[in-house]
Chains A and B, each alone.
Chain A
Amino acid sequence: MLTLYWQGILRRFARQRLRSALTNLGMMIAVAAVMTVLSIGEGAAQRVETELNTMGVQRIWITADREEGGALRLQDAALLQRCMPDEKVTALIRRSGTVTGRYSDDVTVTFCQANLKEVEEIGLRYGRFFSSGEEDGRAACAIVDETAARALWGREQCLAKEVKVGGISFRVVGVAASPENENAHAVGNVYIPISWYDTLEGGQTLDEIEVRTESRENVLAAQQHAVRILEKGARVPVIASNLVEEAEAAHAIVETVRNLVLCVAAVSLLVGGIGIMNVMFITVRERQREIGIRYAIGATERQVFWQFLWEALAYSLLGGALGVPTGMLASYWGCHLSGIAVVIPAYAVAAGLIFALGTGILFGVLPALKASRMDPSQALRTDF
């Protein structure tokens, strides 16, 4: 029976090419729209996640509450690391100053510990970061980022060159990657061991302690724990902050926008489905006599019902099948033009096809019911 239905359907499609093409076009566009929205939404969500990770969604920034007379020192960072062995804790001080290579420029000098590389996920273009041994031994080594390298040496590869910070020469052992979206007026960074801070700046007070948690879910609990350790253990009043709320807000915005656009895509599914229903009602009317003949030669209501429902499904599934590659193409261009990674998740393809199937069933049932309930005698008398 299924072969019989599909044979007839394909012959009718071939005979009524324009009608079939226009009906399929509606469903094709609808499925492509759904797929594209889901794909771009997924790409956008991933982009937001990447950007948040870059900004430090798993990090906690702890500064001393100076109004309460707080001041952070290296031993406070060490205490925190001992009490939070699963997290990575690092201490740093940032200062602006003039650094000299071949050229001189104003950069940010970060006095830091060796594990800043892991905490801030600093990627290296050339060379390496200084080690904890070099940190403890006050080795005169430095890491510059690409922006600073270009400013101080006119090029990015400046390993083994020397930069002068506060009159002291530091050998460049590594060149760090600068952020991708850095603007033209960005200030370069130079990292040197925190053990030099006392010598160069004459102080021991830290600017901040950074903590990197194992996962985003741990951030709030870890922050509370860290504050408790410092305020009760080290008796240092502190202020702590994180990006969890901002991250959740960003995700909520992406989700809301995606759902809104999905609603618009759903409207196109509705339009496609109405198109199918309209064509099927016309088809049933045109083929009244044929329906009467089928009843006369032995068809049951159920057989007539399924004949027309399969025809509606054929429109929606064919449109859906055409919509998938169209959606992939649209997703590719949409992601490309938006500057996000091209992501076409499998569930977007599945969703497109399932929506096509569902639309065919939903909008094909009424015309199929009309055909199956037709009076055979009246049907045979029609002029069509």
Chain B
Amino acid sequence: MKSLIQYLGKSTIDLLREMGQIMLLFFEALFWLFRPPFRIRHFFKQVEFIGVNSLFVVMLTSLFTGMVLALQTYYAFRMFSAETLVGATVALSMTRELGPVITGLMVTGRAGSAICAEIGTMRVTEQVDALTVMAVNPVQYLVLPRVLAGFIVLPLLTVISDVMGILGGYLVGVKILGIHGGLFMNKIYEFVEVGDVYNGLVKASVFGVILTLVGCYKGFYTGGGAEGVGRSTTQAVVMSSVLILVSDYILTALMF
């Protein structure tokens, strides 16, 4: 019993310490945001890596999410003849919730892990120390461009995710299940407000910061060679995913 309490206490303290360190890294990156040199090229390189290269996988997963949503809600709504509401349901779910979350999770898997592996490898091969020795701040050089790119790119990806999800819903609902196309779209206009989309994009920005920051943090504090890099990368993906879902709940509770 005592050891259980000890274990819980230790885990809690470790978790809090880690969160604190992540926040410190965040503030340090923020500090460098307003100080030259501004690394515009690095930033755009990261936008390409985090954003452009994730485009296809985000589009694909969002399309199928929209399709399955339409399929599931159609069978439920048919029981009380509300099939025309399928479009609105899909659109609301996508814009408020699934668009940002799916984008966040997919980009975590694709780019968050890669960020962690890259910075982690640089750490264990002393490239991070080499930066420091050459009087270049590694947070400013490595962390800031990635976090900033995540912050800006995730909402953009989410817009595409929203559109693809609704498109998927339309394909299944209208083309396969035979809901009237005009009604389908009309209900979307009726129920979905700009605020829904907007709040979803705010979430996406937060997710973008979380997944890049956690990737950078885990990479930055990697030790123990190739094995350590692998372990950190796994931890980065798990931690980002959990934090995305937890913060999603908190943001939803605050915004809607």
Do A and B pair up? The answer is: no
